[in-house]
Structure 1
Amino acid sequence: MKALVLSGGAGTRMRPLTHTTAKQLVPVANKPVLFYGLEAIAQAGITDVGIIVGETAAEIEEAVGDGSKFGLDVTYIPQEAPLGLAHAVLISRKFLGDEDFVMYLGDNFIVGGITELVDHFLSDRPDAQILLTHVPNPTVFGVAELDDAGNVARVEEKSPHPRSDLAIVGVYLFSPAVHEAVRAIEPSRRGELEITHAIQWLIDERRDVRSTTISGYWKDTGNVVDMLEVNRSVLETLEPRIEGEVDEESQIIGRVWIEEGASVRGSRVVGPAVIGRGTVISDSYIGAYTSVSEDCRVENSEIEFSIVLRDSSIKGVRRVEASLIGRNVTVTPAPAVPHAHRLLLGDHSEVQISS
């Protein structure tokens, strides 16, 4: 079995951060989201992986390399534009050959991996298997409708009036039958070859399409709110490790990982939190669910429930929370401005000013 990992999207919901950073490489607990997916694929016993890349190809290739650090053999497949998930399958025909494969969206995060799902698929050998989960906002996802027997009756892409609240999770398993499906469909109104259309084609052709409804944790990390939530979820499982330097004036409370080469001086760090290598925290407060990447500086500041990417500096800032701060960012207090009230009052006015 092979794997096809999609890492070619533009990440428009994460802009301006993704103008300069591939969305799949934004870190969660100081590790790129993409790496969690690659590790899950390796744990499932799959070693031959094709990665779809687009305009951020150079950055993805630099981060992943040949895949050997994950125990994988990686082939890069360029996609000229984000023309849909089914288009990614279409252009990967030579790499995939006639083997079964798992398609994994590189910006998705699933707790617990995919090993059990892969084992069931290889045992039963349906033509396609999709993952579903109940969501409160199904209009922003592809959704599936099940019949009374629990079989997949219909799938649709981001309908304003969805037939169910079962969102399609970004992990799909296919037999070679899907290659016929992606060749048979036409581009959608947004000009993309939709994987939901290919799955619906298989259903209409009475092929064996199955589903698994998961109750575990899943997130599409396509926006800042979800990134912070995934970061929180991963940090909940953090094992405390003090590998860097912590002076006697500092307090480390709870599950905190101070990476080798990091330094904490005169500060309070409340876990779960991770401080990256080469980072200096001085006279500051780092609150729960915060990931500070490598080579950062946090001085005389407070930050909580946030992600800070590498080479960034936060100095003299009273409070930062629920924030995603990119690479090489400088955050400082605004210049002091005189406080004044400008008034134009008529005769016999009465004004009360709270100063």
Structure 2
Amino acid sequence: MSAAPGVDAVVLVGGKGTRLRPLTLSAPKPMLPTAGVPYLSHLFSRIRAAGITHVVLGTSYRAEVFEEYFGDGSAVGLELEYVVEETPLDTGGAIRNVFDRVRAENAVIFNGDILSGADLGALVGTHRSTGADVTLHLQRVDDPSRFGSVPTDSSGRVTAFLEKTPNPPTDQINAGCYVFKRSAIESIPAGRRVSVERETFPGLLEAGAHVHGFVDASYWLDVGTPEAFVRGSADLVRGVAPTSALPGPVGEALLLEGAKVADDASVTDGSTLGAGAEVGAGARISGSVLFDGAVVGEGAVVERSVLGKGARVGAGTVLRGVVLGDGAVVGSGCELLDGARVWPEMTIADGAVRFSSDA
């Protein structure tokens, strides 16, 4: 369902992505290669498919990287504008900070680290048909105790915003996507930090504004951690998560230009091999992301891991749930498990064993 006309998009991409370090030392989180292209390319494909063409990016950390890559947006069929956040403003403050660039009566606001299959046209349609001031995408999840919950009444109006609790009254959580009337954006205090969950949304409810819930159970994933990042990339490659920006066919693996895989090696479970990446004889790559130029030696096993640009893994080494920074080197016969991270350009000696600690 089309969301256009009369709707803009705002994408908030100002975070530093600390949970994904060391990968985000060289690039902002939304620009990390995800199923072969920057994560933002997948989000832009959904925005464009919904008929929205004007997109404002709220940037901060490494702000220049976004414009250097996407420019004016014409290459992806959009008109892009950029607003730099000089000091951290939190989500509400970041939304208010782009107000002057919002032209349409309504704007769909996206957190820049959520992978979602929600029907954007239906979301905007609900917002318009109910006459809401703000409409929230609410996702049903199996374990809502990990999140703040958002109950709604029988008509779909939001009644409260609750903090994390062991026994939440609903399985509906804030999914990080909202539709705001322009007037609701303008009502947010300008020039300071504002939390949408703790200040904006409760304040709107107290003022009698109509805050509506669009409840959904489609694909949804916060890709802000290494574990979720590799899962999201694999889901895009396998066609589980929606995108029209995948640079190749849906399948068990995505190999970019110049990637080489030995005849008896295996690359499965939605793995991506960046341009020029190499996988040696007998190696097994499963559910992982290898950035451009990464090399995996003979007989190595790489599962649910991310290998930064130019990273190297020695023969017979095992990586499970590991992040290697750009240019990192792990010697032969090593075993790195359970969240171990190796920082850019660092070397791990042959035969080392490490568990969930920074190297």
Query: TM-score, normalised on structure 2?
Result: 0.79
**1:15-41 residue CA offsets vs partner (Å, 9 max, x unmatched):** 333233311122322222222212211
* Cα distance in 1, alignment partners of residues 169 and 12 from structure 2: 27
* Cα distance in 1, alignment partners of residues 185 and 118 from structure 2: 29
- Counterpart in the other structure of 1:246: none
Letter in 2 for 1:314: V
- Counterpart in the other structure of 1:294: 292
- Displacement after TM superposition at 1:117 (Å): 2.0
- Assess if the C-alpha contact under 8 Å between 2:127 and 2:212 holds in 1: no
- Counterpart in the other structure of 1:27: 33
- Assess if the C-alpha contact under 8 Å between 2:60 and 2:85 holds in 1: yes
**1:278-319 residue CA offsets vs partner (Å, 9 max, x unmatched):** 222221423332232322222212212223232222222421
* Cα distance in 2, alignment partners of residues 26 and 325 from structure 1: 14
- Counterpart in the other structure of 1:324: 323
- Displacement after TM superposition at 1:103 (Å): 0.4
Range moving further from structure 2, 328-337 or 154-163: 154-163
Letter in 1 for 2:86: E
Q: 1:182 to 1:70 in 2, by over 3 A?
A: same
* Cα distance in 1, alignment partners of residues 285 and 212 from structure 2: 44
Whether 1:151 and 2:157 are equivalent positions in the alignment is: yes
- Counterpart in the other structure of 2:266: 269
Whether 1:47 and 2:48 are equivalent positions in the alignment is: no
- Displacement after TM superposition at 1:327 (Å): 2.3
Q: How many residues align?
A: 321
The structure 2 residue matched to 1:208, chosen from 207, 210, 217, is 210
Q: Secondary structure at the match of 1:183?
A: coil
- Counterpart in the other structure of 1:223: 225
**1:214-273 residue CA offsets vs partner (Å, 9 max, x unmatched):** 1112111121222122123223328xx9x9xxxxxxxxxx73333332222243224233
- Displacement after TM superposition at 1:75 (Å): 0.8
The structure number with the bigger radius of gyration is: 1
Whether 1:76 and 2:74 are equivalent positions in the alignment is: no
- Assess if the C-alpha contact under 8 Å between 1:279 and 1:293 holds in 2: yes
The structure 1 residue matched to 2:127, chosen from 110, 121, 131, is 121
Letter in 1 for 2:266: V
- Displacement after TM superposition at 1:321 (Å): 1.9
> What is the RMSD computed on CA atoms of the aligned residues?
3.0
Q: How does 1:46-125 map to 2 (within 5 A)?
A: 46-97=52-103, 99-111=105-117, 114-125=120-131
**1:108-128 residue CA offsets vs partner (Å, 9 max, x unmatched):** 110355233234434544211
Identical columns (%): 26
* Cα distance in 2, alignment partners of residues 261 and 94 from structure 1: 44
* Cα distance in 2, alignment partners of residues 87 and 50 from structure 1: 15
- Counterpart in the other structure of 1:173: 179
* Cα distance in 2, alignment partners of residues 160 and 98 from structure 1: 40
Q: 1:20 to 1:270 in 2, by over 3 A?
A: closer
* Cα distance in 2, alignment partners of residues 4 and 159 from structure 1: 30
* Cα distance in 1, alignment partners of residues 137 and 292 from structure 2: 35
- Counterpart in the other structure of 1:251: none
* Cα distance in 2, alignment partners of residues 140 and 25 from structure 1: 27
* Cα distance in 2, alignment partners of residues 157 and 27 from structure 1: 33
* Cα distance in 1, alignment partners of residues 264 and 118 from structure 2: 35
Q: Which runs of 5+ in 1 are unaligned?
A: 244-253, 338-355
